[in-house]
Structure 1
Amino acid sequence: MKLLIIGSGGREHAIAKKCVADPQVTRVFCAPGNPGMQQDGIELVAIAETDHQLLIEFAIEHQVAWTFVGPEVPLLNGIVDDFQAAGLQIFGPSKQAAMIEGSKAFAKEIMETNQIPTAAYRSFTDSLEAKAYIAEKGAPIVIKADGLAAGKGVVVATTVEEALDAVTAMLEQNRFGDSGAKVVVEDFLAGEEFSLLAFVKEDKVYPMVIAQDHKRAYDHDLGPNTGGMGAYSPVPQISQDIVDQAIREVLHPAAQGMIDRGTPFVGILYAGLIATDEGPKVIEFNARFGDPETQVVLNRLDSSLPAIISALLANQEPDIVWNDRASIGVVLAAEGYPEAYQTGSVVPTKAPKTAQLYYAGVADDDQNGLLSANGGRVMLVEVTASDLASAQTEVYRVIDRLSLDGLFYRRDIGDKALRLSREA
């Protein structure tokens, strides 16, 4: 069986590596991929993720069994619709269904219609109206660009002035282009955040183990929002009762709501949740695997990922088994990220056998035959161990032994979970 993974980041590296490990899989292609993936036997395809026609031609020519879409942009560009029109198997939501991520206002409508718990909100295209609403509501308050903004279009404003500045940047200064032409202003929710993902085939929902992502750039959750600086799983401070409630009140109603809307969802549904005093509430939905959650969640999957997807595409019941081990992943980012960042730093390519390396923003360094940094989030170092404390100790031991000139990372991934576990 030959498979095609679309995308080029650490998420796609983790998905492709999981597929390579399956004995039923003979070749794994990644388009466009990145040079770091080749160390794991993944074959790079020099086709952009936005070039649907060339990707279709490649899949036909190489008799690919099915294609998996990693990033959100091709999904929202309708790649699933195009592949299906060409008679090809592909796992991911249609263009219409992917709007659950592509428009925060759309997602809020789905939640409102299906009584899915979330923060109270209003949507605005007029900055004066948005600012009047913020002045009335006060702070803290959350401002979100309606469309995609690479994980950076959310401002958790602790003051009214900060919220007003966010509206100015989005609606008046066009900071996020069309993605910020509409903003969603919602109530601030207090509580512990967690990520709950599921394999979804229309009304069939198969939850994964939960993870917690770290969005802020610096230790102690300081600094600007990023695409994610690290993640871990399990999340011991979130009880199984809360997870079960989220599956019951969020995932299943969302899947059914998409069917009722005439846009049934197929693919990976990601619910970013917060455990409030009133129960779990939705912060956001994504229409694909998260990054860096994927790199830790998939290391707790004992079943074959290709077999799960093949079963879902064939309308069969998948065999899904999760292990009780703990995984921590720490992102190494280029100095300056998430703003203007430096490129060209030499990127580590070797680590102890206890760790796995997942690459994202890297390029071939022709001068020395190594990898060099050419993106904001450069790579992720992951360790799986018997418990979170052991995984954390080992992942930082590994990182401390790497040469990281020009790169930085957070030193507190997993600290909160370990502290709360001790306090409990």
Structure 2
Amino acid sequence: MKLLVIGSGGREHAISKKLLASPLVDAVYCAPGNPGMSQDGIQLVNLQQSDHGGLIDFAKEQQIAWTFVGPEQPLVAGIADDFERAGLTVFGPNQACAQIEGSKEFAKDLMIRHEIPTADYQVFDKVAEAVAYMEMKGMPLVLKADGLAEGKGVIIPETVEEAIVALQELLGGRFGESSKRVVIEDFLVGEEFSLLAFVHQGKIYPLEIAQDHKRVFEGDLGLNTGGMGAYCPVPQIAPQVVEVAIEQIVRPTIAGLKADGYDYTGVLYAGLIATQEGPKVIEFNARMGDPETQVLLEHMTSDLAEVITAILANRETTISWDEEQVHLGVMVAAKGYPELYPKGLVLPDLSKCQQAVYYSGVDLVDGELVSAGGRVFIMVGKGKTIVEAQQALYQELEQLPLKEYHYRKDIGFKGIS
């Protein structure tokens, strides 16, 4: 088979590399991809993810067996619908289903309608009404831009005064149309984890759980980011909690979508929190997480191309995992991220690294890889324990010239007893 992956980040690098490792696959194209991917034999296609027509033409010309859509933006823009109308097979939800990520209000309404456990909430488009609600509820509360905000649209203010400033920024257009409406929900206490599942025609295939580190600094301090690292498995989340999450959250969500007329295909990402009352939903995404994907696919021993091909053909399949190892990934970002940060920083030579490396925000200038985004690359290591994986990874990172970069030195800390 020849396969196409749409997107350009570390998530798409990991997906493409895993697919290319399959004996069923002759070539993997990534559109637009990034120059770091070429080192793993992935073929880059000079087409933007927004160019649906160009991508469809390419898939037809190259006789692509199926296409995997990595990021949320093209899914919310209806790329799966366009591919299906053109007679092409695509692994990713259609535009209607992608609302589960594209609109937090849609997702919350779905959960309330189908009794899926989540935090109480209200939706506002006016500051005064939102402030009155917050004063009535009391802090802490969570403020979320309704639409897509690249992982930066969630704010947890400590005081009403901070909340008012955040509300004014959000409703004032900080994220454009995405924050014209704001969801305000109760703050949930507990341990967070990510549960992803492959989905097709009502059937779900859950993946191993992972834990992402959203805050920029050690100890989960500082601003929210797109993710500073992840690890799996997550030993402090009991298997029975995961089973409850599958049976009370993931299955009812897919069944609820179907009952509402939405037939979901692709990846459902459930960002969950294990509370004293049981697991509850923090958010849904319509695609794989970044950086969870990079560690999950290193941890997966199954042939990803074989698994997805079987799912799309309605054949039963199982997904297997490395039972002996923990996989842990540390994101290396430009100093200043997630606020103002420099671009064009020369990357160190990572070709001799013992650990897996996946590139995110990089470009090629005069034959050298340079930074082109806030999160630049992730390094994924493994070990029999979280501590072993940390030691192998941080030892390698400390030997690299990374003075102009920043990374957290405590990824996985919650899993160490």
TM bracket, shorter-chain basis = over 0.9
Q: Which amino acid aligns with 2:161?
A: E
Residue ranges of structure 2 left out of the alignment (5+ in a row): none
Q: Distance in 1 between matches of 2:80 and 2:96?
A: 10
Q: Distance in 2 between matches of 1:372 and 1:341?
A: 13
Secondary structure in structure 2 of the residue aligned to 1:205:
strand
Deviation at 1:340, TM superposition (A): 1.5
Equivalent of residue 390 in structure 1, options 388, 391, 398:
388
Structure 2 partner of 1:199: 198
Q: Distance in 1 between matches of 2:52 and 2:348?
A: 33
1:130-279 matched pairs, under 5 angstroms: 130-171=130-171, 173-279=172-278
Q: Which amino acid aligns with 1:129?
A: E
Structure 1 partner of 2:373: 375
Deviation at 1:352, TM superposition (A): 4.9
Q: Please say if 1:334 is aligned against 2:334.
A: yes
Structure 1 partner of 2:112: 112
Residue ranges of structure 1 left out of the alignment (5+ in a row): none
Deviation at 1:289, TM superposition (A): 0.1
Structure 1 partner of 2:292: 293
Q: Which amino acid aligns with 2:142?
A: V
* Cα distance change on mapping 1:349 and 1:258 into 2, 3 Å: farther
Deviation at 1:284, TM superposition (A): 0.1
Deviation at 1:322, TM superposition (A): 1.5
Q: Distance in 2 between matches of 1:341 and 1:290?
A: 23
Deviation at 1:68, TM superposition (A): 0.3
Q: Percent identity?
A: 55
Q: Distance in 1 between matches of 2:303 and 2:157?
A: 42
Q: Please say if 1:14 is aligned against 2:28.
A: no
Q: Distance in 2 between matches of 1:167 and 1:127?
A: 6
| 2:353–2:396 CA contact under 8 A, matched in 1 | no
Deviations 1:190-221 (A, max 9, x none): 01000000011131011100000011111111
| 1:351–1:398 CA contact under 8 A, matched in 2 | no
Structure 2 partner of 1:410: 408
Secondary structure in structure 2 of the residue aligned to 1:307:
helix
Q: Distance in 2 between matches of 1:416 and 1:265?
A: 33
RMSD of equivalent CA atoms? 1.0
Secondary structure in structure 2 of the residue aligned to 1:382:
strand
Q: Which amino acid aligns with 1:198?
A: A
Q: Distance in 2 between matches of 1:354 and 1:280?
A: 37
Q: Distance in 2 between matches of 1:227 and 1:240?
A: 27
| 1:347–1:373 CA contact under 8 A, matched in 2 | yes
Q: Distance in 2 between matches of 1:170 and 1:410?
A: 28
Q: Distance in 2 between matches of 1:258 and 1:387?
A: 38
Q: Which amino acid aligns with 2:226?
A: G
| 1:335–1:406 CA contact under 8 A, matched in 2 | yes
Q: Which amino acid aligns with 2:392?
A: E
| 2:111–2:118 CA contact under 8 A, matched in 1 | yes
Secondary structure in structure 1 of the residue aligned to 2:156:
strand
Deviation at 1:342, TM superposition (A): 0.3
Q: Which amino acid aligns with 1:24?
A: L
Secondary structure in structure 2 of the residue aligned to 1:332:
strand
Q: Distance in 2 between matches of 1:21 and 1:374?
A: 27
Q: How high is the TM-score relative to the length of structure 2?
A: 0.98
